[in-house]
Homo-oligomer: A and B are copies of this chain.
Amino acid sequence: MATSTAGGSQLLDRAALLLDLIADGNSEGATLKELVERSGLNTATCHRILNTLVGHRLLARDDKRRRYRLGAKMFIYGARAARGPGLISRCEMSLSRLRKKTGETTHLMARHNHDSLCLDRRDGECVVQTLTGSIGGSVPLGAGPGSIAMLAFLEREEQEFILRANEARFASFRDLTTDKVSRLIEETRGRGYAVDIGELIPGIAGVAMPIHDEVGVPVASLGFTFLCAKIVPDFVDNYAALLRAEIDLIESRN
């Protein structure tokens, strides 16, 4: 998970760790006890840090003060960050253009630890079921083309680590196994983009391509979700070409 900032400051590192643990919690909200266990911190220390974060509204307490979750400040910072010159605003136009050109549902996914998370999307003309649902939804890295597109271009070592970590979670997806994901990774590497045709959700297909940061690490992906029924020869290639063009544009602004 590489939560070690080395020359950082202990308290801040711990606070950041707790924020991450809480953000990771699949179901929303983590209890003190869980956080103590997962972070390895002393109960008193953990509680003190959480309290301070709640005080600053970076976290919020719920259910009659028994569970911690991300706080109101996070909405605000998130919204603010989205406006700044970050990923989301750099991809905004691309999403809209892709949506307009094709009429399909388009999305921007980003990586967060072992998950792939929907940062932004444009809904298509016909409503299709997507893995992540709307903004904020997440799936284990490895499930779905948007997710594979990122995973495929990570370092081998990291890939394997993530595959092992997510192994159990793949079970809840149709026919998904570590082996299958490995195969998809190879295909995606060869092809340059990820494709899924009705494998995860019957009748639903997806194409996605990774976005790399300045140093070449894949940090996000741009993709389409559409109905398998629409596919005709060259259909997928054409969509991939559209993605390629937008991503070239996005990456050129790095």
> Taking the complex as formed, is A174 at the interface, i.e. its CB lies under 8 A from any CB of chain B?
no
Known contacts A9-B52, A11-B12, A13-B56; A75/B71 CB under 8 A: no
Kindly report how many copies of this chain are found in the complex they form together.
2
> Taking the complex as formed, is A119 at the interface, i.e. its CB lies under 8 A from any CB of chain B?
yes
Stretch in A35-43, A76-84, A153-161, A175-183 with 4+ CB within 8 Å of B: A76-84
> Taking the complex as formed, is A233 at the interface, i.e. its CB lies under 8 A from any CB of chain B?
no
Interface membership of chain A positions 1-42, coded 1 if the CB is closer than 8 angstroms to chain B and 0 otherwise: 001011111011101100100010000110000000000000
Beyond known contacts A7-B51, A12-B53, A19-B73: 11 more, CB 8 A cutoff: A9-B11, A11-B12, A12-B15, A16-B56, A60-B86, A69-B85, A69-B86, A72-B87, A74-B77, A79-B118, A79-B136
Please give the residue numbers on chain A whose beta carbons come within 8 Å of chain B beta carbons, in ascending order: 3, 5-9, 11-13, 15-16, 19, 23, 28-29, 48-49, 51-53, 55-56, 58, 60, 62, 69-88, 110, 112, 117-119, 134-138, 219
